[in-house]
Homo-oligomer: A and B are copies of this chain.
Amino acid sequence: MEIENLLIVGLGLLGGSVALAARERGIARHIVAHARPGRDHEQARADGLIDAWSHDLAGEAARADFILIAQPVDSIVRILPTILAAASEGALVTDVGSTKATIVEKAGAVATKAHFVGSHPMAGSHLTGWKNGRANLFQGATTYVTPTESTCMDATGRVTRFWQSLGSRPVLVDPVRHDHLCALVSHVPHLVAVALMELLGESCEDPHFLRVISGPGLRDTTRIAMGSPDVWQEICHHNSKEISVKLHQLAEICHQLADKVGKGDESLRATLGEASRIRSLLEKD
């Protein structure tokens, strides 16, 4: 995997981690970061994380052979047309958006000489900013790559190898199925953690006392609720139907479980056993 000019649009936790990993693994000869108007990436340049930064999105897009848009979904949707219109012949454009159907649909509607293939690395942190980036952030993490029927196979292959070369494990699924799967394994679990925080809030117990009495179970279960409200509102917006349906389904499961507990239903034992069995299957090697 060799990139001549890598453009990173959005030098945050993910963008910064890609830059670090690309440097460490010699994946890109030249790394440029786009900076929004009124901001700069001078310190990242001085630190050697990137070679240059620029406000000229279209100009940089035209010079790059690989463009990574590492921003939240709304921003990706907003700047995709500019990037795709400016990108040069054969250049590759990908992103890190947590939902894929809207983004891929948007990309398909823009005339371009470049190739767009959606991506979604399942890596992150509740921390933000390139200073919290880690070269090994993608190591062992699944990265969805979401080609459509009209995506050229060579472009899909190169984007897949890009994520592989950063240490992650690409999984190819179509964009709509991606959103279905992520509702299941990421978006609904996030909102369930949010719901648990609402339950604590409704209890009127002092949060500082709750901190003292809570064990690692509660903290692990709800850590993801610390994620950025802005980012998660966008995810909910762009995957609203899948999330809404599955969260209603989860709520019904909770009602049924509550009934079983309340009535001392003997089938509870089997339910707990089956949950334990399924969860064990999710353990990584």
Q: Which residues of A contact B (CB under 8 A)?
A: 122-124, 141-142, 144, 169, 171, 181, 184-186, 188-203, 205, 207-208, 210-215, 217-230, 232-233, 236-237, 240-241, 243-255, 257-259, 261-262, 264, 268-269, 271-276, 278-284
Contacts and interface: CB of A to CB of B under 8 A. Distances in A.
A220 B223 contact: yes
Given A198-B271, A276-B229, A221 B221 contact: yes
Contacts of A227: 276
Contact of A185 (B122, B193, B213): B213
Identical copies of this chain, number: 2
B185 A229 contact: no
Contact of A251 (B213, B217, B255): B255
24 contacts: A122-B214, A185-B200, A191-B258, A192-B196, A193-B279, A195-B253, A195-B257, A197-B274, A202-B253, A214-B282, A219-B282, A219-B284, A220-B223, A220-B224, A221-B223, A226-B279, A233-B268, A233-B269, A236-B261, A240-B264, A241-B262, A243-B262, A244-B262, A247-B258
Given A185-B214, A213-B144, A243-B258, A194 B283 contact: no
Given A144-B213, A244-B261, 16 more contacts: A122-B214, A142-B215, A171-B212, A193-B221, A196-B250, A198-B257, A220-B220, A221-B223, A223-B279, A225-B276, A232-B272, A241-B262, A245-B258, A247-B261, A251-B254, A251-B258
